[in-house]
Amino acid sequence: MGMNNQWIQLIIWFGVFIGIFYFFIIMPRKRQEKKHGDLIDSLKKGEKVVTIGGIRGEITRVKEDTFVLKTGDNTEIEFIKKAIAYRVGDPQ
């Protein structure tokens, strides 16, 4: 009877640990990924953005999986969509 009670307590603590892990690590990450996906979907030509590498530019073309950014006078660089960190002027 005593060993059975210890196993039940162990399972309960394990469940509590999994719940804490889920609510403090997994849920916020999912929310952040959804927010970033919504940002990527809303971007269009002419908007100014910053990449995860810190490169600032203006979107000149939107392709299926990439954005083409104008970064200088006549310099254009193509980035995958996930490389965009944020839109210039948006609160972070």
Cα–Cα dist 28/39, whole Å: 17
pLDDT-derived band of residue 92, with 50, 70 and 90 as boundaries?
low
pLDDT-derived band of residue 1, with 50, 70 and 90 as boundaries?
low
Q: What CATH number belongs to 45-92? A: 2.30.30
* Residue range 4-49, pLDDT digits in tens: 888 899 999 999 999 999 999 999 999 999 999 999 999 999 999 9
**Domain locations along the chain:** 1-42, 45-92
Cα–Cα dist 47/52, whole Å: 16
- Position 48 scores a pLDDT of 95
Cα–Cα dist 7/31, whole Å: 35
